[in-house]
Structure 1
Amino acid sequence: MTSPARAYPLTRPSVRQYIFSPQLFLRPSIRLKSSLYVLSITIIILVILALNAATSTSNPPEVDVNTVPSHDSPADSGEGKDVAKGKDAHLVDQEIQRSFEEPDFSLLASAQPHEIGCDIPLDGKDKGVFMFLGIFSAADKRERRDLYRQVVIPDFPSDQFTIKFILGTPPFPENPIGQEAIARTVLMNKVEAEMREFGDMVMLPMIDNIDLGKTHEYFKWVAKEYSGPGRVKGRPRFVMKADDDTILVMPNLISGFKDLNCADNVYWGTSAGRSHYFGDYFRGLAYAMSWPLVSWIGNAEMPPAHIIKIEDARTGQWLRHLDPVTDPVKRIDMGWTMGDWNQLDVGVETVALHWLKLDDWVKEQHARLHTIWADDNRPYDIENGVHPKISVQKGRQTPERAQKEHQRQKDLGWDVGGNLD
């Protein structure tokens, strides 16, 4: 007699039964479910991979520099957050220095300065300006901006200078609904109101940190703002970057640039007190370049490795990419007529005072400059600047106080490998 067919029990076996009776996995229903699970998971993984590939290969949207950006800067990467906190992330000194020696192919491949030219008239329908002066500031520095608006900026004729405070956005707090986030929103509302009131501020699309490429982003903004074929209204002959603790001596600034040809690759500033680690560059307290150089740099889409860290030395690195035959750089070194106010021998030859960290120092040193000029019977205006050759000659003499500071830094062990001037 044939035995009846054996059927699997209607009830689901327990986990213990599966463990001690693995043949249960061979049940038709189990095989079907397992196949469906595997197929579903495979489809989900393939969809995720396809979406990631589409996102990474699509062109990123163009950033409107006149709007407040979202998380769209190197500071939002893990490395960038570490840099913003004053750390070097995975970089070590040797790698940082190597990045200052490597060529950047976007600079090499883009239109070179001699191809850009500088057809910028100072009168007529499409007139430009003598100089664009960008004063680096930060969102929470309203009092310093107001001080400069009241004390320093009135020295500069508005028909020859376009002056803007250059800001990035404040860092984004980790907790998007905490007190820090609320404080940031309040601050941004105040900054936006200030921008509407004065019209003299530029908000760059990046987190505000000088080590994260703010200088390149500034040149990029200027290059885009005044881009276009032929003559563009408002385009500057020269572009300067200055710190918000620097006073520029306006008459000497005019006299120093008025006879320069902006079609030349002019690089103006001071090397006095710089480090030797990173090659030839002018210190970041204030330096300027002619329009072709700014347009060339600002239109180059350089990777983060070639824009972060030590902003003034980076500018010197970029200029070393130029062909010395077709694009020689005209370096104008003002030496010790520019520097920390407490190290200089301040006179009518002085071009810029730096390290004005206190508001009272700004007022005192600004008044001091005007007194020096009055004592020399020299009006403090655009017609009476000291001839630049006189300032350059004075700048070659190292002040006694600067020598003492140099020795103090050496005694502290800062002169590693002869890096100090």
Structure 2
Amino acid sequence: MKTSSSSSHAFQATASLCTPYLLLVPLGLLAVVVVIPSLGSSYVRSDGLGVLCRGGPAADGGLHLVAPGGDAGGAREKEVVAAAEAVARPEFRLLVGVLTTPKRYERRNIVRLAYALQPPPVPAGVAEVDVRFVFCAVSDPVDAQLVALEAMRHGDIVVLNCTENMNDGKTHEYLSAVPRLFASTPYDYVMKTDDDTYLRVAAMVDELRSKPREDVYLGHGFAVGDDPMQFMHGMGYVVSWDVASWVSTNEEILRHNDTHGPEDLLVGKWLNIGRRGKNRYNLKPRMYDLNWDMDNFQPDTVAVHLLKDNRRWAAAFRYFNVTAGLKPSKLHLQHQQP
């Protein structure tokens, strides 16, 4: 999901990216499903999330940049196309991978809405952010059918070649797969987050704008000994593309079977041993866990974690005024308490 309002030309120049590339492999052999980069040029995007892209390559309302035909004015046509592409090119691209499990359909729908209804970053066109839901191979035949429908409709599913787990190599598989899956259209940053984290995209974009594009490791720093950022909390962390590529090609991690254990701690361990992610940024306290009483929300939040049930998600939406823009209608109960 992504919002773009830099200009109609900028949107047309990038709307062709909405075409889905989807590979669904049968049941337990469902290896890697890669879907489209969707949405225009400046905000979060994920096909079917109610922002810019809809439905698929033949969907009504799809916008595509079409250069005029014929031989005359060919040079001028190329200049126009190049200018449109230059306008549409964002400062950076961020991939947000939301690690989840196949059966959490309701949670994914809530998270999709949470991203789709966020206001765009300022200025418009600053970033392209793609949101993908990530899980391992789907072995249950019912889930396989329902996930296939979900992937066809939303185009935001990535299925990894692993057995579903939390601390048994899934994050390593994700960080390793991304550089291969998106080799032709690399991102500047790759984020891992969870389906109980509410990420405020504009705030994250604002944080990343001034950061280097290489050797970056950013999140809620977890102190070990005298090091305030030995590793980043698993609620959500960002690495630059070169760091993800290094993880993808580092055979030492697998040779030493170093993917089994608390995933966030292990990522920090890999980077510390490999002397990677030297540009470290601690976003604590703007990234934090929601407490039991749900009374520690902060207005400058980048990400809030532990939204384990609908009640806690509703509290987050209420605090951040997500539904404040609901227009009066006879179809809604106007006097119902928010």
8 Å CA contact 1:68, 1:203 repeated in 2? no
Counterpart CA distance in 2 for 1:316 and 1:261 is 19
User: Counterpart of 2:280 in structure 1: which amino acid?
Assistant: R
**Residue 163 (structure 1) aligned with residue 139 (structure 2):** no
Partner-residue secondary structure (3-state), 1:254: helix
Counterpart check, 1:133 vs 2:99: no
The amino acid of 1:133's aligned partner reads V
* Equivalent in the alignment of 1:331: 280
Could you tell me how far apart the structure 1 residues matched to 2:189 and 2:135 are? Answer: 20
The 5 A counterparts of 1:217-366 are 217-227=173-183, 232-233=184-185, 235-263=186-214, 265-272=215-222, 280-301=230-251, 302-303=253-254, 305-323=257-275, 329-342=278-291, 345-366=296-317
Deviation digits for residues 103-149 of structure 1 (CA, Å, limit 9, x no counterpart): xxxxxxxxxxxxxxxxxxx9549957521000011100011111112
Q: Give the structure 2 partner of residue 189 of structure 1.
A: 145
Aligned to 2:111: 148
* Greater helix proportion: 1
Counterpart amino acid of residue 245 in structure 2: S
Aligned-pair CA distance for 1:216: 0.8
Contact 1:65/1:204 (8 A) holds in 2: no
Unmatched 5+ residue regions in structure 1? 1-63, 74-121, 173-183, 375-421
Is the 1:72–1:206 Cα contact (8 Å) retained in structure 2? no
Secondary structure of the structure 1 residue equivalent to 2:291: coil
Is the 1:242–1:284 contact (alpha carbons within 8 Å) kept by the matching residues of 2? yes
Does the CA-based 8 Å contact 2:134-2:158 persist in structure 1? yes
Q: Distance in 1 between matches of 2:27 and 2:246?
A: 24
CA distance in 2, matches of 1:207, 1:251: 33
- Between the aligned partners of 2:249 and 2:130, the Cα distance in structure 1 is 21
Residue 169 of structure 1 and its aligned partner are, at CA, apart by: 2.5
Residue 147 and residue 210 in structure 1: after superposition, are their counterparts in 2 closer, same or farther (change >3 A)? same
Q: Distance in 1 between matches of 2:232 and 2:305?
A: 14
Amino acid at match of 1:202: V
Higher strand share: 2
Distance 1:314 1:199, change over 3 A: same
How far apart are the structure 2 equivalents of 1:185 and 1:70? 8
Paired letter, 1:220: S
- Given that 1:68 and 1:169 are in contact with CA atoms closer than 8 Å, whether structure 2 keeps it comes out as no
Q: TM-score, normalised by structure 1?
A: 0.51
Amino acid across the alignment from 2:284? G
CA contact under 8 A between 1:65 and 1:203: conserved in structure 2? no
Change (3 A) 1:328 1:250: closer
1: distance between equivalents of 2:208 and 2:289? Answer: 22
1:356/1:362 contact within 8 Å kept: yes
- 1:211 matched to which residue of 2? 167
- Cα distance in structure 1, aligned partners of 2:234 and 2:116: 19
TM-aligned CA deviation for residue 72 of structure 1: 10
Structure 2: stretches of 5+ with no match in the other structure: 1-21, 32-83, 326-338
Identity among equivalent positions (%) equals 23
Deviation (angstroms), 1:347: 2.5
C-alpha contact (below 8 Å) 2:232/2:265 kept by paired residues: yes
Q: How does 1:46-57 map to 2 (within 5 A)?
A: none
TM-score (norm 2): 0.62
Q: Give the direction of change, closer, same or farther, for the CA distance of 1:200–1:354 in structure 2 (3 Å limit).
A: same
